[in-house]
Chains A and B, each alone.
Chain A
Amino acid sequence: MALGAIVLGGALGYAAVRFRVEGDPLVEKIDAILPQTQCGQCGYPGCKPYAQAIAKGEAEINQCPPGGEEGIHKLADLLGREFKPLSAEHGIEKPKAVALIDEQTCIGCTLCIQACPVDAIVGAAKQMHTVIAGQCTGCELCLPPCPVNCISMEPIAESVESWKWKYPVFKLTPSRKEAA
């Protein structure tokens, strides 16, 4: 199966090279780095507004918890600013999760639908609602409006497809102890 990954890898080509957005305005470049969770934890109503604030120099680069350390490093590289650890007042970096509606409890009030920034929840008034997991960014914005608290965040489990080879580390094993 690994070989297949290589085959597809060929098709993938120069992903990282391609991703470098050349010649675009600064806001676009910053927005391309932001994770597009649209959660508002940075203090702005979405990723683009935060990108605009960074570009104008009104916001620090360490306010986006979903982007995490890696995102801050990328922003620091792009803007030639100093790396700063994630600002605690804006939140902490969490493993990616998706919202799950408990279908037994849901009363079909549509409040979560209105809260979802990416239209990832389907349902109609008085009908049970469901989250389309593949489109959920894990922003958690649907949690507070739910009057019956039936939405929970489920961490995304690792699968054979999403599993990653680990960074090769070789533990230094001490020479074998003599039998005691």
Chain B
Amino acid sequence: MSALRKLFRFHGGVKPDYHKHASTRQPIAGTPIPAELVIPLHQSIGGPPRPLVQAGERVLKGQRIGDADGNVSSAVHASTSGTVTAVEMRRMPHTSGLSALCVVIKPDGRDEWIARQSFDFRNASPTETRDYLRDAGVVGLGGAVFPSHLKLNAGKQGRLDTLVLNGAECEPFITCDDVLMRERGEAILKGAAIMREMLAAGRVLIGIEDNKPEAIAAMMAAARAAGDDAIQVVAVPTRYPAGGAKQLIRVLTGIEVPHGERSTDYGVQCFNVGTAYATHDAIALGQPLISRIVTVAGNVGQARNYEVLFGTPMRDLIAPCAPLPDSDRVIMGGPMMGFRMPGDDVPVVKATNCVLVGSDALFPPPPPEMSCIRCGECAKVCPSDLQPFEMYWFARARLFGKAQEYHLFDCIECGCCAYVCPSRIPLVDYYRFAKSEIWAREVEKEAADQARDRYEFRLLREEREKQEKAAKLAAKTAAGREKAAAALAEAEKPARTPEEEAKHALIAAALERAKAQKERAHPENTSNLSPEQQAEIAAIEARRAEIREQAKPHLRADD
């Protein structure tokens, strides 16, 4: 239900051209199963999943092919049935153009599902439900691909005030959430209801930018049909980046989550509408995340939204959209925050909300950068309330510590600052550079700390071993000394009692017998020796004694 409610304003923001109309004229279309699916194992934040299949194995649609590596990770699944042809390095949908481990599947065309079963989350513990979602591969579909199970945690209080569903979709060209809300509002709300129960959230606020009247109407109708007063659809003013989590929370609730703090500490958690949809798929239908809605737009004749199986090459999506002949680049994401792809052969992954085809005409190359005139325009538009020109200055000078003091890591890379900069400085490029340098240093630092610990432990161990050896040696000599001392004490002991005397005599007799026996058993090979042999033995004994003598100082040094 929509209500007239007081909305708040986030700092800054810009109003770029939206270009959203072209891709919303037609409903979501399916895509044919491609000839080959290349499914990267690492598609979310956190540890890269471990492959569960080998070349030659047959897999079913929805079968887990990559197992979450620890809890901060998320599983991946086969998006159709077929045969695994390889588990190998393939080029990733990443600006670097580098490769990573992928499961390559040759589809059999049957699209045969695994046995699907809904998950009874009401009779499961929160941990079990979270594990289930992790193994179903549910991650944030707004582009951040943060594992959702980690966010479905009510925090310290065990309950939240507000669950925010993010349908703002503020970035130009991208309309995947818009069409999803228009066509599948009911499932989104069911997913939201599951999330709300898990978080024990009081209300659900669905924020949608007011340039999407159809989506707002559809979601309102769905909310009415659900008949739940706690769910409210709220139209928010269209201003980029209203779809940033912190920005949307601010607009809807007025809460300003401070630098470096979690929204759950303020009773709010925020999910993308696509993530709610995927949660419903996983829990109610037993379908892991194997596809998503992707907008294909930009320099194409026919922009449109497709439901795409993960692993589908981007070029398979672009082809039916009639790319214009001057197209020369593919961007994953939108023009403000997107990433240039190394080619159109890379696969669609969970993070792919939009495949944007570009050309010099559509996105003219940036004019040469000029020096910063410290006009402060960038700070006026920064939605994170930062001072972009200061961060730029320090990033440029590679003074990374300084850049961090200006809250570099609170920058959401929205690009507003670069958008308004009169000197056309590619500010975000500097922030990305600085952030990745700081990250690399953090990793190096950690490795160095570990190496230091291991080195010091080794020194300690060597020292300990040396001492143990010395102690053993000392113990040996000490034992000898003790024996001597004991014998001495024995001799000086006062006269024994008769019983003791008798015992002693017995022992002495036994010893005497043993000695006699030993003498009788004396080896015969040293008797009846020739004088030469005797001399030889004597020489050997002398050498032995000499060596023993030489070894003595070492033994003592070791002591």
On A, residues with C-beta under 8 Å from B are 1-10, 12-17, 19-20, 31, 34-38, 46-48, 117-120, 135, 137, 158-168, 170, 172
How many angstroms from the CA of A13 to the CA of B407 in the assembled complex? 8
Q: Would you give the shortest CB distance from B132 to chain A, in whole angstroms?
A: 22
Contacting pair A16 B441 (CB below 8 A): yes
Contacting pair A135 B440 (CB below 8 A): no
Contact of B436 among A8, A38, A47, A164 (CB under 8 A): A164
Contact of A3 among B96, B369, B412, B436 (CB under 8 A): B412
User: Cβ of B411: which chain A residues have Cβ within 8 Å of it?
Assistant: 6
How many angstroms from the CA of A170 to the CA of B369 in the assembled complex? 8
How many angstroms from the CA of A95 to the CA of B94 in the assembled complex? 23
Contact of A47 among B401, B426, B452 (CB under 8 A): B452
Contacting pair B45 A163 (CB below 8 A): no
How many angstroms from the CA of A5 to the CA of B144 in the assembled complex? 8
User: Cβ of B92: which chain A residues have Cβ within 8 Å of it?
Assistant: 160
- Given the known inter-chain contacts A118-B451, A168-B429, A168-B430, please indicate yes or no for A159 contacting B412, CB distance below 8 A: no
B window 396-413: CB within 8 A of A: 400-401, 404-405, 408-413
User: Cβ of B409: which chain A residues have Cβ within 8 Å of it?
Assistant: 6, 9-10, 12-13
Contacting pair A36 B452 (CB below 8 A): yes
**Chain A contact residues, majority secondary structure:** loop
Contacting pair A160 B100 (CB below 8 A): yes
Q: Would you give the shortest CB distance from B394 to chain A, in whole angstroms?
A: 10
B432 within 8 A of A: yes
B143 within 8 A of A: yes
- Which segment of B212-220, B454-462, B532-540 sits at the interface? B454-462
Contacting pair B94 A1 (CB below 8 A): yes
- Given the known inter-chain contacts A14-B404, A172-B368, please indicate yes or no for A159 contacting B98, CB distance below 8 A: yes
B435 within 8 A of A: yes
Contacting pair B451 A36 (CB below 8 A): yes
Q: Would you give the shortest CB distance from B144 to chain A, in whole angstroms?
A: 4
Interface residue count for B (Cβ, 8 Å)?
A: 59
- Which segment of B27-35, B56-64, B442-450, B519-527 sits at the interface? B442-450
How many angstroms from the CA of A35 to the CA of B455 in the assembled complex? 12
How many angstroms from the CA of A141 to the CA of B411 in the assembled complex? 43
User: A-B contact count, CB below 8 Å?
Assistant: 139
Contact of A165 among B412, B432, B454 (CB under 8 A): B432
B18 within 8 A of A: no
Contacting pair A2 B432 (CB below 8 A): yes
Contact of B45 among A4, A15, A159 (CB under 8 A): A4
Contact string against A for B residues 421-438, beta-carbon threshold 8 Å, 1 for contact and 0 otherwise: 000001001101101111
How many angstroms from the CA of A135 to the CA of B322 in the assembled complex? 51
Contacting pair B451 A15 (CB below 8 A): no
Q: Would you list the 6 A-B pairs with minimal beta carbon distance, nearest first?
A: A16-B401, A4-B45, A9-B409, A3-B144, A36-B451, A168-B429
Q: List 17 A-B contacts (CB under 8 A).
A: A1-B351, A3-B337, A4-B45, A7-B144, A10-B260, A16-B400, A19-B401, A35-B448, A36-B448, A48-B452, A117-B458, A119-B457, A135-B454, A160-B94, A160-B96, A162-B440, A168-B426
Contact of A16 among B413, B433, B438 (CB under 8 A): B438
Q: Would you give the shortest CB distance from A30 to chain B, in whole angstroms?
A: 13
Contacting pair B458 A162 (CB below 8 A): no
- Nearest A residue to B94, CB-CB: A160
- Nearest A residue to B244, CB-CB: A3
User: Cβ of B44: which chain A residues have Cβ within 8 Å of it?
Assistant: 4
User: Cβ of A3: which chain B residues have Cβ within 8 Å of it?
Assistant: 142-144, 337, 412-413
User: Cβ of B405: which chain A residues have Cβ within 8 Å of it?
Assistant: 14, 17
User: Cβ of B95: which chain A residues have Cβ within 8 Å of it?
Assistant: 165
Contact string against A for B residues 131-159, beta-carbon threshold 8 Å, 1 for contact and 0 otherwise: 00000000000111110000000000000
Contacting pair B436 A4 (CB below 8 A): no
User: Cβ of B145: which chain A residues have Cβ within 8 Å of it?
Assistant: 1, 4
How many angstroms from the CA of A9 to the CA of B443 in the assembled complex? 13
How many angstroms from the CA of A12 to the CA of B45 in the assembled complex? 14
How many angstroms from the CA of A166 to the CA of B369 in the assembled complex? 16
Contacting pair B96 A158 (CB below 8 A): yes
B439 within 8 A of A: yes
Apart from A34-B448, A160-B98: 15 A-B pairs, beta carbons within 8 A: A2-B339, A3-B144, A4-B44, A6-B144, A9-B439, A10-B409, A17-B405, A19-B401, A36-B451, A38-B451, A135-B454, A137-B451, A160-B100, A164-B433, A165-B436
